[in-house]
Amino acid sequence: MQAYTLPRAEHGISREDISDNALKVLYRLNKSGFEAYLVGGCVRDLMLGKLPKDFDVVTNATPEQIKSLFKNCRLIGRRFRLAHIVFGREIIEVATFRGHHSEGESDNKLGQQDAQGQLVRDNVFGTIEEDAERRDFTFNAMYYSVADFTVTDFARGRDAVKNREVDLIGDPETRYREDPVRMLRAIRFAAKLDMTITPRTAKPIPELAHLLANIPPARLFEETLKLFLGGAGVQTFRLLQQYGLLTPLFPQLESIAKNPDSRECQFILKVLENTDERINSNQRVTPAFLYAALLWYPLEEHAQKLQAESGLNQHDAFNIASGEVIHRQVQRIMIPKRFSTVIRDIWILQQRLPRRFGRRAFQLLSHPKFRAGYDFLHARGEIEGGNTMELADWWTEFQHADQGKQKKLLNALRQSEGSKSSGPRKRRRRSPEKRDAGNA
Ligand code: ATP
Ligand code: MG
C-alpha cells in the first residue's frame, strides 16, 4: 500500500473540530511513547465538513497498556478487543492496530476464519499499514495525528471523498466474503454520505447478498438500526432493494421487494420518510415503529391466510399471525423483547382504534402507546386513503378536542353509524359491545 502524507493545508482538519476528550486520549498516548491517531468515520466526516458522530482512536499500545494509562478505561469486545475511555457521556473508543492472519494462525485463538472465508475472530495485532489494509473503504483508512497534524492516507481516501465514491480496499468479492456486513456498510455510506458505489465495489453485491444469512441475528440488529436510523432511511431502503439485500434481511418482504411501486412498498417508504425527518430534526424515534411498518403487510397477509385456512376469527388470527411474523423475522434479525412488545402494541392498536364507542375512545387515548399507534394509523391512511384516512382524521380531531367537542364527535359517530345500520334501534341499544366490534 502506498501511503500519502497530507499536510494540514491539504486535509483542512482543525483541532477545534475535534472533541477535547479525543484530544486528551491522543496526547496522553503520544506522551507515553505510543503512536496514536484518529481514524475511520471521524476523519472522513471532518474532511467532508460534517460533524463526526464519534471519535475513534487507534494506537500501537495494547489493550492492557491502554488500560494502565487511563483510570476511566474499560476493556470490551470479543470479536474485536477494544478499550473504551469513558468521559461522562462521551466514550472514546481506542483500538490497537490490527494485523493480518498468517496461515499457521488460522486455527489459533486470535484470528479465525470459517469455511466461507468469513472472519469469526480478529485479535491479531499489527502495524499501521496492516491496520489500514484491513479497513473496509478507502475513505475509512485515513489516520490523523496530533503529533504533526498530518493525515496519513493509505488508500487514496481523500480522492474518494472528493469524488464522492464508496470504494472497497482490496478485491471486493474477497472482502465481502470475509465479512458480508460490508455489503450493508457500502449501502449505508452511499445513502448517508450521498455518494456513489464504484462499479467494482457494487458488482459482486447481488450475487453475494445471500451470505448475510451467515451473520448472527444480534449483529444484524445493530446494523439495521444504523441503516435505517441514520437519517437517510428512504435512500437506504431503495438501495437495499436495488442490490437484492432486502430479502436476505427480511425474507417476508420478498414479494414486496420485487415491486417497488406497490402500495406495500409505498407505506414503508412513507414511514421511513417520516423517520428521516424526525431524525434530521433531532426528534426521538423508536426502532419498534419501523419494524412494525416493515412487517405490517406480511402480518395482514398472514392473518388473512390463517383466517381463511383455519376458520379462526379475525381477532385470534391477527394475534397468532403477529406472534408468527415476529418469530420468523427474529430468525434473521434479533429483535429485543423491549421492542417486540411495542411492535405488537402498535399492531393491536390498529385493531382497536376503529372501535370508539362508550368509554373506549377515552381508554385508547390513555393507552401508553396511543401516540405510536395513532401515528402508524395516520401513515397507513396516507397510503390507503378511504376509511383508514377517515379514521385517522377522526382521531386527529378527537385527541385535540376539549371535552364538549369530544362528546359531540362521539355522538356524531353514533348517529352516522346508526343511520348506516338497518337493524332495529332496540336491539342495538341492548348490545352495544357487539355492534361496536362489528364496526371494526
Ligand atoms: P459512522 O460514522 O457511521 O460511525 P464509521 O466509518 O466510523 O461510520 P464504524 O462502524 O464506527 O463506522 O467503524 C469505524 C471504522 O472501523 C470504519 O471507519 C472502518 O475503518 C472500520 N470498520 C468498521 N467495520 C468494518 C468492517 N466490517 N470491515 C472492515 N473495517 C471496518
Ligand atoms: Mg464510527
pLDDT tens-digit series, residues 175-210: 999 999 999 999 999 999 999 999 999 999 999 999
Task: Give pLDDT, residue 109.
Answer: 46
Average pLDDT over residues 204-217: 98
Task: Categorize the per-residue pLDDT at 268 as very low, low, confident or very high, splitting at 50, 70 and 90.
Answer: very high
pLDDT at 429 over 50: no
Between helix 314-330 and helix 337-352 the angle, nearest 10°, is 150
Output the pTM of the full model. 0.89
Task: Give pLDDT, residue 392.
Answer: 97
pLDDT at 120 over 80: no
Q: Find out whether 399 and 374 touch, Cβ atoms under 8 Å.
A: yes
Task: Give pLDDT, residue 112.
Answer: 59
Higher pLDDT, residue 265 or 113: 265
- Consecutive H or E run containing 91: strand 90-96
- C-alpha 299/C-alpha 306 separation (Å) is 10
What residues line ligand 1, using a CB cutoff of 6 Å? 40-41, 53, 56, 135-136, 140, 179, 181-182
Higher pLDDT, residue 424 or 26: 26
Q: What distance in angstroms lies between residue 37's CA and the mean position of ligand 2's atoms?
A: 14
> Which ligand has the shortest distance to the CA of 179?
1
Q: What is the mean pLDDT of the chain?
A: 91
Return the residue whose CA atom lies nearest to atom 24 of ligand 1.
136
Q: Find out whether 432 and 411 touch, Cβ atoms under 8 Å.
A: no
Task: Categorize the per-residue pLDDT at 440 as very low, low, confident or very high, splitting at 50, 70 and 90.
Answer: very low
Per-residue pLDDT tens over the stretch 341-358: 999 999 999 999 999 987
Q: What distance in angstroms lies between residue 90's CA and the mean position of ligand 2's atoms?
A: 13
Q: Per the structure block, which three cell numbers stand in for 52?
A: 463526526
Task: Give pLDDT, residue 84.
Answer: 97
Percentage above 90 pLDDT, the chain:
83
Q: What class has domain 1-163?
A: alpha beta
Q: Find out whether 225 and 188 touch, Cβ atoms under 8 Å.
A: no
Testing ligand 1's pocket by substitution, the residue of 44, 119, 136, 279 carrying the most ligand atoms inside 8 A of its CB is: 136
Task: Give pLDDT, residue 357.
Answer: 85
Known catalytic residues are 54, 56, 136
Percentage above 70 pLDDT, the chain:
89
Q: What distance in angstroms lies between residue 346's CA and the mean position of ligand 1's atoms?
A: 33
Task: Give pLDDT, residue 434.
Answer: 45
Residues with CB under 5 A from ligand 2 (ion): 41
